[in-house]
């Protein structure tokens, strides 16, 4: 996610993993900066030529930057020539502009240069890590962070852009399509984006375009388009129907859609980005039948949160959490209470997999850079809004969401601004709630220390003592009390490190359990946390053992280990004695794995999937301590088939593949911890 223009697609258990875009979010300013730009792209020869007129009203000190791959043929301002902005050809062009003594300053820059070749072999994570302007007949992607145009650094901008491409190609940027012309000589399209935006991304390709008009709120027409590669153009109508459904949903829930159009654009690489007025998704992703019912809605919602109300990065990016809560989690709530609980449990399991130092306060999250940051910035932040809704009630929370939209639209908004809106609309003081959940890392650990009952004239008196870790949180702790007549939920207002509560009950209590429906973001008890594969993925102490000795298979196993961990590997030779505490990842062919498990006197391959599929992965807790994850494949082809899909199933305890297809997956059973009443 980069908010304002680029949100990475949140795929949860899908084929992609959301991540950062191509530059580090910075504190942006509202200098009145306007671009009027012409861009000419030749995808076959991979060249770009451009002219940009940049107008800054009421200017302050400015910095302009253009990528090192390009040559500046002219750069002038009101004061004359600006020079090319660099001394060596391997350096970016940088112009530092002092504060001019005038009401308005204008820069005109002509530039040209090569674009990197389009590489369709990259996976999603590799695509995220390449802030490079690329082009080819299959598609062109110029991400803002690649500095493909002379950027005014650190300022929100408005723009008008004319794109010129050869015949057979079509292109777009975020914004309103003003004019379009296509002939045998080529294609031209003009776009404008008159709201403040963080930057400009450009996409082009051999697109088949389908257009429909949707009547939005207040009978306002919204132009819907798909820019799809020919091989998936038959999917357009279904996608457009889904977009209409989401727009209606979010307009009724939040408020009027902020733009005049929305487009879905296909990418030849496995990208997943959301930008104002559009989302940019890989061809293979768009083919997946469930995308329309899951991740598409997440990206459309970002037009409200992130692209409509802007996060104040300096004080934390709240938009990914609110979008996850109102999209991904909301879909689970619509499915069933059990599906929603399972998602909350997944958030808490993921958090339990973090090691010391990997967690940060929500006020420090800006964008996703790795799995640990997603667990905080997406999952914990979504749980924050879930708990806030619990505290305020559904109706008040709904009004506050609408108030946030109506008062903060197209404004940079901090967590503190959100708190003020919710306080005004709810009439409650929320400082303790916001402070304890936003400014602290970690989560409270809560246990039932004791539960006693006594007989009274009217029934029974139950005394429950709760204990929590330091620092103390103020929490409405749900307690389930089981009797012969069933189970009832009571909420106890815990405010101290240890606190006793007395309840009067008509029936004899038999047992009590803490937060069985997982309404609190907390550290789970050991029985509530079956091991999941993510434990070896996010833990920097994970050690890796590669079993195959054949060069080809060993190379594939090492590549898979790197993709699972996304960091430098700690490789352990087969002959070396294993640590008793560090998480361990073992990868090999089936015969190697079975032999290794027997030699290490470890449990054999689980019977749940023995003999199934071409590859399996599972995780267990080792008897001597630490987690052990095993990846087992029939042969080199089965190992290679795991390279893309397996890293995206960290939430599972076990998974079985037939080639690249998942045929079985699951989480080891959990144990709800009950305390018997004395």
pLDDT of residue 242: 97
The CATH code of the domain that includes 508 is 2.60.40.1840
Q: Provide the pLDDT confidence category of residue 678 given band limits of 50, 70 and 90.
A: confident
Mean pLDDT of 557-580: 83
pLDDT of residue 368: 61
Q: Do the domain assignments include residue 526?
A: no
- What CA–CA distance (Å, rounded) separates 170 from 266? 12
Q: Are residues 516 and 629 in the same domain?
A: no
pLDDT of residue 22: 35
Q: Provide the pLDDT confidence category of residue 24 given band limits of 50, 70 and 90.
A: very low
675 vs 10, residue with greater confidence: 675
- Report how far apart, in Å, the C-alpha atoms of 634 and of each of 42, 272, 465, 484, 542 are: 45, 32, 53, 52, 24
pLDDT digit string (tens) for 592-638?
Answer: 999 999 988 888 998 888 789 999 999 998 877 788 999 999 999 99
- Report how far apart, in Å, the C-alpha atoms of 352 and of each of 292, 316, 342, 444, 582 are: 31, 22, 15, 12, 16
Q: Are residues 458 and 415 in the same domain?
A: no
H or E element, residue 561: helix 551-565
Q: Provide the pLDDT confidence category of residue 64 given band limits of 50, 70 and 90.
A: very high
pLDDT digit string (tens) for 509-518?
Answer: 999 999 999 9
17 vs 270, residue with greater confidence: 270
pLDDT of residue 358: 81
Given a cut of 90, whether residue 59 has pLDDT beyond it is no
Q: Do the domain assignments include residue 111?
A: yes
Sheet holding 498-505, edge to edge: 446-456, 459-468, 498-505
pLDDT of residue 270: 83
498 vs 532, residue with greater confidence: 498
Q: How much of the chain, in percent, has pLDDT values that exceed 70?
A: 92
Q: Are residues 65 and 199 in the same domain?
A: yes
Residues 62, 107: contact at Cβ < 8 Å? no
Q: Provide the pLDDT confidence category of residue 16 given band limits of 50, 70 and 90.
A: very low
Q: Do the domain assignments include residue 370?
A: yes
- What CA–CA distance (Å, rounded) separates 233 from 343? 33
Alpha carbon 95 to chain centroid, angstroms: 34
Tell me the H-state helices in 514-567.
534-538, 551-565
The CATH code of the domain that includes 15 is 2.60.40.1730
Q: Which residues contact 595 (CB under 8 A, 6 or more apart)?
A: none
Q: Are residues 99 and 128 in the same domain?
A: yes
Given a cut of 60, whether residue 570 has pLDDT beyond it is yes
Mean pLDDT of 568-580: 78
Q: Provide the pLDDT confidence category of residue 19 given band limits of 50, 70 and 90.
A: very low
Residues 648, 17: contact at Cβ < 8 Å? yes
The CATH code of the domain that includes 330 is 1.10.390.10
- What CA–CA distance (Å, rounded) separates 539 from 582? 9
H or E element, residue 53: strand 47-57
pLDDT digit string (tens) for 348-360?
Answer: 988 987 877 788 9
Q: Are residues 427 and 460 in the same domain?
A: no
User: Which of 259, 282, 301 marks a domain boundary?
Assistant: 301
333 vs 576, residue with greater confidence: 333
Q: Are residues 414 and 457 in the same domain?
A: no
Given a cut of 80, whether residue 252 has pLDDT beyond it is yes
- What CA–CA distance (Å, rounded) separates 402 from 251? 10
pTM: 0.82
Sheet holding 93-97, edge to edge: 93-97, 62-66, 151-152
pLDDT of residue 57: 86
Q: Are residues 68 and 31 in the same domain?
A: yes
pLDDT digit string (tens) for 96-136?
Answer: 988 766 788 899 999 999 999 998 776 666 666 567 999 99
Mean pLDDT of 556-564: 92
User: Which of 520, 549, 582 marks a domain boundary?
Assistant: 520
pLDDT of residue 668: 85
13 vs 574, residue with greater confidence: 574
Q: Are residues 454 and 432 in the same domain?
A: no
Q: Do the domain assignments include residue 676?
A: no
Q: How many domains does the chain have?
A: 4
Q: Provide the pLDDT confidence category of residue 20 given band limits of 50, 70 and 90.
A: very low
Q: Which residues form the domain of 40?
A: 7-301
Q: Provide the pLDDT confidence category of residue 370 given band limits of 50, 70 and 90.
A: low
- What CA–CA distance (Å, rounded) separates 276 from 304? 9
Nearest to 280 by CA among 260, 293, 295: 295
Q: Provide the pLDDT confidence category of residue 579 given band limits of 50, 70 and 90.
A: low
pLDDT of residue 130: 66
Q: Are residues 153 and 255 in the same domain?
A: yes
Mean pLDDT of 159-167: 98
- What CA–CA distance (Å, rounded) separates 107 from 72? 13
Residue 278: helix, strand or coil by DSSP? strand
The CATH code of the domain that includes 585 is 3.30.379
Given a cut of 70, whether residue 49 has pLDDT beyond it is yes
Q: Do the domain assignments include residue 238?
A: yes
Q: Do the domain assignments include residue 671?
A: no
User: Which of 438, 471, 503 marks a domain boundary?
Assistant: 438
501 vs 668, residue with greater confidence: 501
Q: Are residues 433 and 450 in the same domain?
A: no
Q: Provide the pLDDT confidence category of residue 527 given band limits of 50, 70 and 90.
A: confident
pLDDT of residue 123: 63
Q: Rounded mean pLDDT of the chain?
A: 89
pLDDT of residue 25: 42
Given a cut of 70, whether residue 309 has pLDDT beyond it is yes
pLDDT of residue 582: 83
- Report how far apart, in Å, the C-alpha atoms of 264 and of each of 226, 256, 267, 323 are: 5, 20, 10, 18
Given a cut of 90, whether residue 198 has pLDDT beyond it is no
pLDDT of residue 457: 83
Q: Provide the pLDDT confidence category of residue 665 given band limits of 50, 70 and 90.
A: very high
Q: Do the domain assignments include residue 528?
A: no
The two structure tokens encoding residue 248: 């209606």
Q: The tokens 């959990």 sit on which residue?
A: 670
Q: Are residues 235 and 281 in the same domain?
A: yes
pLDDT of residue 414: 96
Mean pLDDT of 44-64: 92
pLDDT digit string (tens) for 458-478?
Answer: 889 999 999 999 999 999 999
pLDDT of residue 128: 62
Q: Are residues 208 and 96 in the same domain?
A: yes
Q: Do the domain assignments include residue 488?
A: yes
């Amino acid at each position: 996610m980069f908010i304002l223009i680029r949100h990475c697609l949140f795929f949860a258990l899908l084929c992609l993993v959301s991540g950062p875009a191509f530059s580090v979010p910075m504190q942006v300013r509202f200098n009145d900066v306007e671009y009027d730009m012409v861009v000419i792209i030749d995808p076959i020869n991979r060249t770009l030529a451009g002219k940009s007129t940049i107008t800054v009203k009421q200017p302050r000190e400015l910095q302009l930057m253009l990528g090192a791959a390009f040559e500046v043929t002219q750069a002038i301002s009101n004061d004359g020539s600006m020079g090319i902005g660099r001394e060596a050809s391997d350096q970016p062009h940088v112009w530092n502009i002092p504060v001019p003594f005038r009401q308005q300053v204008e820069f005109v820059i002509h530039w040209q240069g090569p674009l990197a070749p389009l590489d369709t072999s990259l996976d999603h994570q590799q695509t995220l890590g390449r802030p490079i302007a690329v082009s080819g007949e299959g598609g062109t992607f110029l991400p803002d962070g690649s500095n493909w145009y002379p950027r005014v650094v650190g300022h929100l901008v408005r723009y008008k852009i004319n794109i010129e491409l050869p015949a057979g190609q079509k292109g777009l940027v975020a914004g309103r399509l003003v004019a379009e012309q296509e002939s045998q000589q080529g294609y031209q399209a003009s776009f404008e984006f008159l709201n403040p935006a963080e930057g400009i991304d450009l996409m082009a390709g051999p697109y088949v375009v389908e257009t429909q008009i949707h009547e939005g709120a207040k009978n306002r027409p919204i132009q819907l388009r798909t820019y799809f590669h020919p091989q998936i153009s038959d999917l357009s109508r279904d996608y457009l129907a889904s977009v209409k459904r989401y727009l209606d949903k979010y307009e009724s829930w939040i408020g009027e859609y902020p733009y005049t159009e929305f487009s879905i654009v296909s990418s030849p690489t496995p990208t997943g980005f959301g930008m104002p007025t559009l989302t940019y998704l890989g061809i293979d992703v768009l083919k997946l039948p469930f995308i329309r019912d899951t991740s598409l809605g997440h990206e459309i919602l970002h037009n409200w949160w992130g692209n409509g109300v802007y996060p104040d990065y300096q004080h934390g990016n709240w938009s990914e959490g609110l979008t996850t809560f109102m999209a991904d989690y909301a879909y689970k709530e619509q499915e069933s209470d059990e599906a929603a609980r399972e998602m909350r449990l997944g958030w808490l399991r993921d958090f339990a997999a973090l090691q010391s130092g990997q967690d940060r306060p929500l006020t420090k999250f800006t964008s996703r850079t790795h799995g640990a940051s997603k667990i905080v910035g997406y999952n914990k932040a979504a749980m924050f809004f879930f708990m806030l809704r619990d505290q305020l009630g559904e109706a008040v929370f709904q009004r506050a969401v609408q108030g946030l939209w109506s008062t903060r639209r197209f404004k940079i908004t901090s967590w503190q601004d959100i708190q003020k809106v919710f306080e005004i609309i709810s009439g409650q003081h929320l400082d303790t709630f916001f402070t304890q959940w936003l400014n602290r890392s970690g989560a409270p650990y809560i246990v039932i220390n004791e539960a006693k009952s006594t007989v009274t004239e009217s029934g029974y008196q139950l005394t429950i003592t709760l204990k929590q870790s330091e620092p103390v949180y103020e929490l409405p702790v749900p307690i389930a009390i089981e009797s012969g007549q069933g189970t009832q939920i009571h909420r106890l207002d815990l405010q101290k490190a240890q606190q006793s509560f007395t309840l009067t009950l008509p029936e004899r209590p038999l047992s009590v359990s803490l937060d069985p429906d997982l309404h609190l973001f907390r550290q789970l008890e050991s029985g509530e946390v079956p091991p999941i594969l993510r434990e070896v993925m996010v833990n920097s102490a994970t050690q890796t053992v590669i079993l195959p000795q054949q060069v080809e298979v060993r190379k594939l196993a090492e590549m898979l280990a790197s993709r699972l961990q996304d960091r430098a590997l700690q490789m352990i030779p087969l002959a070396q004695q294993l640590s008793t505490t560090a998480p361990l990842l073992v990868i090999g062919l089936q015969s190697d794995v079975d032999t290794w498990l027997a030699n290490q006197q470890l449990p054999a391959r689980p019977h749940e999937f023995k003999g199934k599929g071409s590859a399996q992965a599972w995780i267990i807790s080792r008897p001597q301590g630490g987690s052990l994850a095993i990846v087992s494949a029939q042969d080199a082809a089965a190992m290679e088939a795991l390279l893309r899909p397996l890293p995206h199933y960290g939430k599972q305890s076990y998974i079985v593949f037939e080639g690249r297809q998942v045929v079985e997956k699951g989480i080891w059973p959990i144990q709800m911890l009950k305390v018997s009443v004395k």
